[in-house]
């Protein structure tokens, strides 16, 4: 285990039928927090709530050996257009159930029972970590500040996701 910070390459995908670069707050929040933490943002895109467009972008990123982490924001609700979990789940080799459970527990402290509407998920695909977050900037702040930031820091004890990266592709 390392005691040094290891900067990761992170890609951010905003899933929205209405947001543009000009008015995207959630994606910008994630980019800002990742950079402030010392990581590089390898790419950032906005796509509509369309399972196949989401899956296409995420698939390209998880096939890119230079990208370590993909974070999506948006499309995790329950409306007919919300399809990020459906787009991403078939790509996952492993699901990190504890992420969604813990995220909803933390969200409950802020939005109470409305947290049951969140289908936030995380997992690993082709050696890349994926986190699918709700579209609100508050949800992105909660997820990054309370969960993702420390797990993407090799100095976090007793364990973190970074220390496992060399073993993700074991067979």
Place of tokens 């500040």: 145
Domain coordinates in residue numbering, the chain: 9-166
Q: In what order do the strands lie in the sheet with 94-95?
A: 40-47, 9-15, 69-73, 128-133, 121-125, 94-95
| Residue 30 clears pLDDT 70, i.e. is over it | yes
Tokens of 118: 């969140």
Number of H helices, E strands in the chain: 6, 6
Superfamily of chain region 9-166: MoaB/Mog-like domain (3.40.980.10)
Contacts of 116 (CB under 8 A, 6+ apart): 104
To the nearest whole number, what is the mean pLDDT of the chain?
97
> What would the pLDDT profile of 102-150 be if each residue is shown by its tens digit?
999 999 999 999 999 999 999 999 999 999 999 999 999 999 999 999 9
């Amino acid at each position: 285990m390392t005691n040094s910070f290891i900067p990761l390459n992170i890609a951010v995908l905003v899933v929205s039928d209405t947001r543009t670069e000009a008015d995207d707050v959630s994606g910008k929040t994630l980019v800002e927090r990742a950079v402030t933490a010392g990581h590089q943002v390898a790419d950032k895109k906005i796509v509509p709530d369309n399972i196949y467009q989401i899956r296409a972008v995420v698939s390209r990123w998880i096939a890119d050996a230079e990208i370590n982490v993909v974070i999506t924001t948006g499309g995790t609700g329950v409306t007919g257009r919300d399809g990020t979990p459906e787009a991403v789940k078939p790509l996952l080799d492993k699901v990190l159930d504890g992420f969604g459970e813990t995220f909803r527990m933390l969200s409950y402290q802020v939005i109470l029972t409305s947290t049951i509407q969140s289908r936030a998920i995380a997992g690993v695909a082709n050696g890349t970590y994926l986190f699918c977050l709700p579209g609100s900037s508050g949800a992105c702040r909660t997820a990054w500040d309370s969960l993702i930031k420390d797990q993407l820091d090799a100095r976090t004890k007793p364990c973190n996701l970074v220390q496992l990266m060399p073993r993700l592709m074991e067979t």
